[in-house]
């Protein structure tokens, strides 16, 4: 199953806090209700995104690990 997204952000090879900063920059470029796909290789990215999304009301609608590449689909809050 494929999940549609409106913006893609490649944060592979970057360490904390860079994936989170790129996610914030990407989410700022889309409209409320749209979806950002973030790909990262830092295994701690999920913790940062969980806290950030909770604080700002965004929703992680799915996440997957494919051979060390972590994909996060984040829906921007309204």
pLDDT tens string 22-63: 999 999 999 999 999 999 999 999 999 999 999 999 999 999
Between the CA of residue 45 and those of 10, 11, 32, what are the distances in Å?
Answer: 13, 10, 22
The band of 78, judged by pLDDT with boundaries at 50, 70 and 90, is confident
Q: Domains of the chain, with CATH numbers? A: 7-75 (3.30.110.40)
Catalytic residues: 16
pTM above 0.85, yes or no: yes
Size of the chain, expressed as the number of residues it contains: 78
């Amino acid at each position: 199953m494929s999940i549609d997204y409106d913006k893609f952000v490649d944060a592979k090879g970057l360490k904390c806090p860079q994936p989170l900063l790129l996610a914030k920059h990407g989410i700022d470029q889309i409209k409320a209700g749209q979806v950002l796909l973030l790909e990262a290789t830092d295994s701690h990215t999920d913790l940062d995104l969980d806290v950030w999304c909770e604080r700002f009301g965004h929703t992680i609608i799915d996440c997957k690990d494919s051979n060390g590449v972590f994909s996060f689909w984040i829906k921007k809050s309204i």
